[in-house]
Structure formats: structure tokens, C-alpha cells
Amino acid sequence: MMSLWDWLVVGTYLGFMLAVGLVCKRMNRSSSDYFRGGGQMLWWMSGTSMCISSISLWTFSAAGVRVYQTGFYQVAAYFTGLAGIPLLYVFFAQRYRRMRVVTSADAIRRRYGRTSEQAWVWLTVPINIFYSGVGLHIIALFVGAALGLEVNQVVVALGLIITFMAMLGGAWAVSASDFLQGLVTVLIAVIVCLRTFMLPEVGGVTGFIDQLPAEFMDFNLWSRPVIWMPWLLTMAVMYTFRAMSMDDLGAYFLKVKDDRHARWQVVLYAFTPLLPLLVFLPIMASKWVIPDMAETFPNLKQPEEGAYIAIAMKVLPQGMIGMLICAVFAAQMSSLDTGLNKSAGFITCNFYRDVLRPKAPERELLWIGMIFTLIFGTLIIGVGIAITNHRELNIFDFTLMLAPILQLPLVVPMVMGTIVRRTPGWSAWSSALVGIAVGALTNLWWLKDPEKITAFAGMIGMAAPLTAIEQVDLRFIVSYAMVISCALIWFTSTRLFWNTTTEPFRVSVESFFADMRVPIGQHVDDAEPANLDLSLPPEGEKTHESLLSSGTTNRDDDQYTLIGWLTVAYAAAITLGVLIPNAWADRLLFLGGGLVLGLIGAFLLSQRERS
């Protein structure tokens, strides 16, 4: 259970995150700063945010259910995401940075036109809010179980903290907090993994391997190859499409300063699957170390969702359990604050600025961005409470059911739009609607329940009854195959209507693709004017257009200084954990963790003069 020291650690962490928002507020001088860091982020800062946003609490809880049941099956799924890394490095990363836009919706306007931009904004913002509400529910469920708190109370408390941090600091605060939270997440994952292997019940690496259930390595014992192999292939396609979508992970490349940093960000992203591996190994060990999860978490509908926290609480000393809660909170917070900043950016830049107030000064846009961040944060809290009160499925099945309906259809036109040039403006939103319709029909009607899934399996020659896992996986495979194929067929078929487009639209599309071929720093709009005044412009003097086209400014020192000192401060706070009355071996965990983070902070500070 949580001790007073653990509560103190959690409170200190939450206060520190709010402080990050306040500290980063001074970095925002324009809407470009607030929503994408002015396109001046260094690869390690934006890249860490990209990595940690790819993990989320879903890895610790929902995916943990599957790991508890099937072992390395889910581990293999995460590593299939590496399939898209070469394409991302060679082709997509630098092209996305060269779009020279503030939000991904700006890129949609350049590629698909104003009407499609507005259709996309009003289609995706509600979906983003809903998914953020799902994420807030997941973290509240997890933290509530650990702290013994009512889930809806946790939804409100954590939702307010995330909202105010994102509202105050914008993209700089989001990325800075993601970097710090990435460090603490990796630190805790390493400590929990090592200490789990040190348990007598585990017996080190050799004992772990010897005690692994056979089904953890031989997937054929619980699923037939005709299902689990296509499932892994489908996961590879899903991760690849997400990484290459300019409205998903691809949007992180809008933040970095140039092509080189975009490619280095891809290199960092390639190490993302290592963190889930560190998390999943202790969950596998919990299978025999804590065999009765229902007794440990009697209030959870799916007790296996708490497997990681159960094994972690067994191996961590007081104070470190509080850091564990901070780590899992950090994993989900990274995707929540990013989604919140993204939705506010869409409405501020692509509706308020482009439609309602085209000549709005930057000061006004900054305030409007903060207002919409607050509004959307409130809506996300409401969605989180509603899901808490009405969800029946386990989180893994729930998220996999939603993905082909609400997520995948939006990804397809965002990837294809940077490859296929000659399609009309309506090809984007119409392809998304086709995908949503196909996903809904497949999941909510055709393969709605186990009986229909079993009937479909019989139609394709699977005579034996399907297990529960096979039913979920088969629906996932069919849903993704149907959505991707139908959306792709619809999108490519719209090429037949290219000749119906107007000349101004064709010129805009050609300009968009031409810009993606020009490296950052070689475009006429990339030239940095002499003596650029970076102070916030007076009311009405400089609009977003002039700021966006005025070029780039070196913010390297600001980032090294800001993140360096924040990391040092965080390291100092962790080091104070040696004062907690634990055994000396346990106190050394705080000392070692603080030392590692302190060295990272010192290294960043040392780079200021070299930037």
C-alpha cells in the first residue's frame, strides 16, 4: 500500500509538472511557438515526446492483460513497429518537416484545400477529445486502484493538472514534461525489471526462462497460426501507418528545426519497443509470483490490468512506489497533453484564425489557444467520467474495437496524401468517412458478437471453436483489412476526378509537393532576417502569417538550459529519497537514480556553448 512518503513523492511530482507549465510559458511568443515549438525543437526533445507518446498507460495496463495471458506475443507486436522505420527515415520524416506549417491541419489545407481542412478539423477534434477521455479513464483506473481512490475523483484531479500544464506552457511545456517523464518512466521500468529478476520466486534470468509457461513462447498452444501470424502482420501495418501519418506521429516532425534533426528523431524512435519489453518482463513473472490477481485487485473488472503495479509494489520500497505511480501517470499524460494541445491548435489556427479572425494578432491567438485548451480539457474530463460509468469491456478489447472505427480511417488519407498527388480535395474526408462506415459496420454489426465471429470463421474454413483471444484477434484482422482496403480503394479511385479540380487548387497542390522537396534553410521563406525581434509583437503589428514566414531562430541554448536545469532539479528531488527510512540498499536506488538523471542534466547544460 501507499505510505505517507509515497504520497509526498506523488504530490511533489504533480507540483513539478505544474511548475513546468509556468516555466515554459516564457518560451511562447507566437501561435507557432505555442502549438509546435516554433519548429525549433531539437531532435532529442521532440523525439522523446514522440517515443513516450507512443507508449501510454495502455502499455502498462491494457496490453498487460494480453501479456499476462500470452507472454511474448504482445512483445512481438511492439517490435513489428520497426518495419516502418526505414521508410520513415528515408522518405517521410524530412518531407513532413519541409511542409512549413504550424499544425497538421495547415498541411491538410495546402494538400486538400480549405473545405477539406474545415471538414477534417470538425471530424477529428471530437474524436481526439473522445480518445483523450478514454486515456484519462485508463490512467484514473490504474492510479485509483493503486491509491485506493474512487476512479471518477482521480479523473477530475488528473484531468485538471494535465489541462493547466498544457494551457500554461503549450507545446514547449508538453515536450519538456514528456522529456522529464520519459526519463522517470525508463528509470522506474529498469528498476522494477531488475528487482523482479532478483526475487527468489523468479531466480534471475535462468530461473525466469525455466519458469516461463509454454504458451508464452509457443503461440500455437492458444491460437492457430492462421490467426496469430496475420495478427502480427496487421499490427505491423497499424504501427507503420501511424508513424507515417502527418496527422498522427508524423506531426512530431513539424516541431524539429531541420531535416537532420528529423532523421535523428527517427533513430531515437526506433528504440521505443525497448521500454514495453522492460515493462512486460515483470508482468510475465507476475503470472507465477502473484497467480491470483483477482484477490489483489477485487474491485477491477479485469484484475490482470493491475499485474504490473502488483509486481512493482512487491519489489519497490516506500517512496519508489510513489515514483511508480508518477511513471505510469507520465506514460499516459504524454499522449493526453499532446492531444489536448493538438485539438486546441486545430480550433485556434484552423478555425478561429483562418475563418473567424484572419487578421488576429499573435497575442490574441495565444489567449484563444489557452481558452480552447481549458475548454477541451473540461470536455475530456467529462468523457472520462462517462466511460468510467458505462464501460463493460476490458480495456484491451475496448481500444482494439475502437481503433478501426475512429483511428485507422483518419490515418489512411494522411499517409496517401503525401504520396499520391492527383486526387481532389474531397478525397481526404470522403476516404475517412468510408473507412469509419466500414469499421463501424464490421465491428458493430457484421462481427459484433462471438457468435457472428465464430460463424465467419466457419465460412473461411476454421472448423474448431475459437478461443476468446482468437475471436478478438480475428475481428481485429478483418476490421483492419476491410478499413484499409476500402479506404485505399476509395482514395485512389478519386484520381479519376482530378480533371474536375480548379486551376488554383492544382497550383496549391503542386506548391505543397514542391516545398517537400526543398530542405529547411534553402527555401525563400526560411531565410532568417537580420536582427529579428523575438519579443511578443504589439497588438496588431505582426500577424501569424508574417511570423510564420519570417524564418527560423536559434533556440538551442534555450532548450539546453531549460531542460538541463529542470532535469537537474528533478534529479535533486529524487536524490532526497535517501532520507526516506528504508534499508540502505533501497536508499541506494534513489541515490543511483538521482545520479543518472543529474548526469543527463549536467550533460545538457554543457552543450549550451557548443550549440
pLDDT in tens, 11-34: 888 888 888 888 888 888 888 888
Mean pLDDT of 58-73: 84
**What sign for the dihedral angle of Cα 300, 305, 309, 311?**
positive
Reported as a single tens digit per residue, the pLDDT across 185-200 is: 899 999 999 999 999 9
Give the H or E element holding residue 314. Answer: helix 307-315
Q: pLDDT value at position 505?
A: 94
- Report the C-alpha dihedral over residues 440, 445, 448, 449, rounded to 10 degrees: 180
For residue 525, what pLDDT band results from cuts at 50, 70 and 90? low
What pLDDT was estimated at residue 167? 85
Contact 466, 457 (CB under 8 A): yes
Percent over 70 (pLDDT), the chain: 91
Q: Which of 439, 483, 480 is nearest to 238 (CA)?
A: 480
What mean pLDDT is predicted for residues 364-372?
Answer: 90
User: Which region among 40-44, 294-298, 336-340, 532-536 has the lowest average model confidence (pLDDT)?
Assistant: 532-536
What is the model's pLDDT at position 282? 95
4-388 domain in CATH 2.60.40.1080? no
Average pLDDT of span 209-214: 92
What confidence score (pLDDT) does residue 398 get?
63
> CA 264, CA 434: separation in Å to the nearest integer?
36
As given in the structure block, the three cell numbers for residue 138 are 485508463
Least confident of 366-370, 403-407, 518-522: 403-407
- Domain positions in the chain are 4-388
What residues pair up with 256 in beta bridges, in sequence order?
A: 41
Q: Is the pLDDT of residue 532 over 70?
A: no
Using DSSP's 3-state secondary structure scheme, residue 361 falls into: strand
pLDDT of residue 554: 66
Considering only residues 115 and 303, tell me which one the structure prediction assigns the higher pLDDT. Answer: 115
| pTM (predicted TM-score) | 0.84
C-alpha cell at 543: 500577424
Per DSSP, helices labelled H in 148-258 are 151-197, 204-211, 225-244
Q: Taking a C-beta distance cutoff of 8 angstroms, is the pair 282, 308 a contact?
A: yes
What is the rounded average pLDDT of the residues 317-345? Answer: 82
pLDDT of residue 165: 80
Q: Which residue has the higher pLDDT, 589 or 292?
A: 589
**276: nearest Cα among 245, 249, 308:** 308
CA 601 to centroid of chain Cα atoms? 24
CB 265 within 8 A of CB 93: yes
Q: Rounded mean pLDDT of the chain?
A: 84
Q: Do residues 482 and 442 touch, judged by C-beta distance below 8 A?
A: yes
Nearest one of 563, 559, 529, 520 to 547, comparing CA atoms? 529
pLDDT at 536: 35
pLDDT reported for residue 375: 94
pLDDT, tens only, 535-578: 333 333 333 433 343 344 568 888 999 999 999 999 999 999 99
C-alpha cell at 368: 484563444
Residue 605 has pLDDT above 90, yes or no: yes
Confidence of residue 404 (pLDDT cuts 50, 70, 90): low
Distance CA 82, CA 235 (A): 11
Note the pLDDT tens digit of each residue in 91-144. 999 999 998 888 888 999 999 999 989 988 998 898 888 888 888 887 787 777
Q: What is the DSSP-derived secondary structure letter of residue 420? A: -
Give how far Cα 517 sits from Cα of 99, 470, 510, 514, Å.
Answer: 9, 45, 11, 5
Least confident interval from 143-152, 311-320, 464-473: 143-152
User: What DSSP state is assigned to residue 256?
Assistant: B
Sequence-distant (≥ 6) Cβ neighbours of residue 260 within 8 angstroms: 43
Mean per-residue pLDDT for 276-293? 91
Is residue 527 over pLDDT 70? no
Q: pLDDT tens digits, residue range 452-503?
A: 888 888 888 787 788 888 888 888 899 889 999 999 999 999 999 999 999 9
For residue 337, pLDDT beyond 80: no
Count Cβ atoms below 10 Å from residue 89 Cβ, excluding itself: 18
Q: Is the pLDDT of residue 342 over 90?
A: no
SS3 content of the chain, % helix, strand, coil (to 5): 80, 0, 20
Q: pLDDT exceeding 90 applies to what percent of the chain?
A: 38
The Cβ of residue 305 has, within 10 Å, a number of other Cβ atoms equal to: 25
pLDDT at 139: 77
